[in-house]
Amino acid sequence: MKNFQNEKQRDLSTNKSDGTNKVLTTNQGVLINDDNNSLKAGERGPSLLEDFILREKITHFDHERIPERVVHARGSGAHGFFEVTNPIPELTKAGFLQEAGLKTPVFTRFSTVAGSRGSTDLARDVRGFAVKFYTQEGIFDLVGNNIPVFFIQDASKFPDLVHAVKPEPHNEMPQAASAHDTFWDFISLMPESMHMIMWTMSDRAIPRSYRMMEGFGVHTFRLVNAENQSVFVKFHWKPKLGTHAVAWDEAQKISGKNPDFHRQDLWDAIEMGNFPEWELGVQVIPAEDEHKYDFDLLDPTKIVPEELVPVTIVGRMVLDKNPDNFFSETEQIAFHPGHVVPGIDFSNDPLLQGRLFSYTDTQLTRLGGPNFHEIPINRSIAPVHNNQRDGLMRQEVNVGRVSYHPNTLGGGCPYQAKIAEGGFSSFNERIEAHKVRERSESFADHFGQAKLFFNSQTPEEKSHIVKALRFELGKVETTAIRVRMLGLLSQVDVTLAEKVALGLGAQVPSTLEFPVNKGVSPENEGGNQEPQTI
Ligand code: HEM
């Protein structure tokens, strides 16, 4: 089966270069007559500084690496398209969702979170599932994961979470695994993470293939229609091949034999024409139902159960072309949950709000300055015009004397009025509030959905969770951390805690060190609460 070349792929082709059967030149276009020997003073003499051919080659090589992503460093990506099957103009004015059959080019990158660029694909970890839609109205990025909830409720804890899960700073161990003291130390003090911990200790955290993973936007987003009416939505990707995992024992063996297992599986499937496919669905929550549930829609540690709000399928995504160059596409792509188009907007989820700052900020370092939107894979297929100018590595040659607005000299609008009808305007949400640094009481239940998830598992799947926790906590050297974790697990399911304790040769504690119904650790509360008996 041959894939068609979509608009983004045509756009990329303007930057492609193929050196087959071409003679070598320097970067300045000067023909090179000897690429094997440096210029020396005599056959056995020292090399000469004037050898610009050697200097250029070595200098470029010296600068080949860029920083890896601070998280999600290990990833694999592919091109494809998104096709609308069930248009939703009543919910959103987003152009790419208006018409059945309409196709939008995409690039999708899957990743692990904790490991470095060269780490194994089969780590027990969350998987990133990031899709860049090159729409006619600009870029929309759906930067999701394969697990529908997150560890923390507030962006302020993200650097702590990542510092805890990454290899320890003194010895850079362990690689790509959560099985160590610092991770479990943090988690044991973070009861809000228990729902996500149930998912990460389950089979969901060791997928069989990227092609067999669900994807989730995690946060609640908004859709806004042409009448400026808004609904809340959760985004879902449903794999055509179903959701499948490997067992932990298999994962460890595969990691040893082929750490590129998922990368290769995705590549080979596409090369063979077995194009992976997902359906995109939305759970739609009417604005008036915002406070209807016993959890808060803004709390990213909660799902909206599909029994309460079913998923409506909107379209399908097919990945049908491997990248031409890993670095130029998979590595240089820059996703951002803040890349939205008219008709899609944010909720006030405090984790999402923090993300809206973080991505461009990190990419300024990772991709070397403010012009990384010009890198071919990041370039919009919708026209880009504004008065942003210059900066490191600027490619665009802006002509004319006007780089300000309003203006009369450059055909711009002379007044500070609306610039473009239909341009992005944020949803006009009414906010009346005090400025506070507090966690909402509506975020306080940390165990209800953790229990729900655990109870939804088959006996075999439950036994995998027990084994995973025994394995993980068995690697924790500090007894107090293990005991704190057993205490938290007992809040999810007493039998689960007891089974894990048995494997560790430990006891489930009868008291917790700190109250568990708050999303804060004891030191934030002053550390003077009475221990709670359970
Ligand atoms: C990557 C920050 C939560 C999904 C990243 C990167 C940063 C970051 C700095 C590296 C980006 C780059 O170098 O291009 C944060 C912060 C979070 C957060 C501050 C919370 C406050 C989440 C959540 C999800 C998520 C909840 C899932 C819904 C991803 C994915 C990538 C990523 C999929 C990899 C994108 C790619 O393939 O390039 N995140 N993140 N992150 N994040 Fe987050």
In the annotated binding site, the residues are 69, 109, 158, 355, 359, 366
Give the model's confidence band at 517: pLDDT under 50 very low, under 70 low, under 90 confident, else very high. low
Nearest-atom number in ligand 1 for the CA of 354 is 21
- Candidates 146, 193, 355: which one to mutate for ligand 1, based on the most atoms within 8 Å of Cβ? 355
pLDDT at 5: 82
Where do runs of H (alpha helix) occur along 243-319?
Answer: 248-257, 261-271
Helix (H) or strand (E) holding 492: helix 479-492
> Ligand 1 pocket, 132 CB below 6 A?
no
Are the beta carbons of 343 and 223 closer than 8 angstroms? yes
Residues identified as active-site: 72, 145
* DSSP for 170-187, written as a single string: TT--STT-S-SHHHHHHH
Nearest-atom number in ligand 1 for the CA of 69 is 13
Nearest CA to ligand 1 atom 8: 359
Taking only the tens place, the pLDDT of each residue in 118-141 is 999 999 999 999 999 999 999 999
> Ligand 1 pocket, 353 CB below 6 A?
no
The answer to whether the complex's ipTM is over 0.90 is: yes
At 77 the three-state DSSP class reads strand
- For 461-491, letters b (16+ CB in 10 Å) and e give ebebbbbbbbbbbeebeeeebbbbbbbbbbb
Give the model's confidence band at 529: pLDDT under 50 very low, under 70 low, under 90 confident, else very high. very low
Give residue 513's identity as a one-letter amino acid code: E
Are the beta carbons of 388 and 382 closer than 8 angstroms? no
Give distance in angstroms: CA of 9 to centre of ligand 1: 25
Taking only the tens place, the pLDDT of each residue in 34-73 is 999 999 999 999 999 999 999 999 999 999 999 999 999 9
> Ligand 1 pocket, 366 CB below 6 A?
yes
Give the model's confidence band at 516: pLDDT under 50 very low, under 70 low, under 90 confident, else very high. low
Give distance in angstroms: CA of 28 to centre of ligand 1: 38
Check pLDDT > 90 for residue 531: no
pLDDT at 410: 84
Q: Average of pLDDT values for 446-469?
A: 98
Give the model's confidence band at 289: pLDDT under 50 very low, under 70 low, under 90 confident, else very high. very high
Taking only the tens place, the pLDDT of each residue in 70-91 is 999 999 999 999 999 999 999 9
Q: Average of pLDDT values for 7-22?
A: 94
Q: Average of pLDDT values for 158-177?
A: 92
Give distance in angstroms: CA of 176 to centre of ligand 1: 16
Output DSSP code: residue 331.
Answer: I
- Candidates 108, 127, 353, 358: which one to mutate for ligand 1, based on the most atoms within 8 Å of Cβ? 358
Give distance in angstroms: CA of 71 to centre of ligand 1: 7
| pTM of the predicted structure, to 2 decimals | 0.95
pLDDT at 175: 81
In the annotated binding site for heme, the residues are 69, 109, 158, 355, 359, 366
Taking only the tens place, the pLDDT of each residue in 477-507 is 999 999 999 999 999 999 999 999 999 999 9
pLDDT at 179: 76
pLDDT at 56: 98
Rg (CA), the chain: 26
